[in-house]
Amino acid sequence: MKLCINFVFTVFLTQFLFLLKLVTIVGMRRRGYTVAGINDFANSINATRSGNEKVIEFTFLEHIIRKDLDKVCPRTLAVIDPVLVRIISLDDNFA
């Protein structure tokens, strides 16, 4: 029983701390969100200082941040540790 309570508490605490770090502006900045992206998000949802009872999908924030980061830094892809693949059952006249 003690192990079960410890597990539930640990899972709850980690999820709660993750949410606390992410939804504050300081937490967003710590995770690499740009100021321009945060401002674009606030402007796009028409945020005011009071009366914000809206529920905004988290994917919308990610979309706005991605759009802002595409202007600042281009996306690239690199293979760090390639794997050599050898196909032995292939015909010799395969095009």
For 66-78, what is each residue's pLDDT tens digit?
A: 999 888 888 889 9
Instruction: Give the separation between CA 93 and CA 6, rounded to whole angstroms.
Output: 62
Domain boundaries, the chain: 2-72
- pTM metric for this prediction: 0.53
Tell me the per-residue pLDDT of 12-60, one tens digit each, with 9 for 90 and over: 666 665 555 556 778 788 888 889 998 898 888 876 666 656 777 888 8
Tell me the per-residue pLDDT of 5-23, one tens digit each, with 9 for 90 and over: 666 666 666 666 555 555 6
* The pLDDT of residue 83: 93
Domain spanning 2-72, CATH class: mainly alpha
